[in-house]
Amino acid sequence: MALVPSKLTILQYPHSKLRIRARPIEETTDLVRQVAARMLKLMHEAPGVGLACPQVGLPWRMFVANPSQQPDDDWVFINPVLSNHSQQTGDRDEGCLSIPGVIAEIRRPLGVTVSALDLQGNPIEQVSDELSARIWQHECDHLDGTLIIDRMTKADRLANKRAIRDLEAAVR
Supply the residues annotated as catalytic: 139
The CA radius of gyration of the chain, in Å to the nearest whole number, is: 16
User: Phi and psi for 18 in degrees, rounded to 5?
Assistant: -70, -15
Distance (Å, whole) CA 24 – CA 18: 16
Q: 64: closest CA among 112, 56, 165, 93?
A: 56
User: Phi and psi for 64 in degrees, rounded to 5?
Assistant: -115, 155
Pairing of strands 112-117, 104-109: unpaired
Run of H or E residues at 156 = helix 154-159
Answer yes or no: are the C-beta atoms of 24 and 62 closer than 8 Å: no
Distance (Å, whole) CA 23 – CA 101: 29
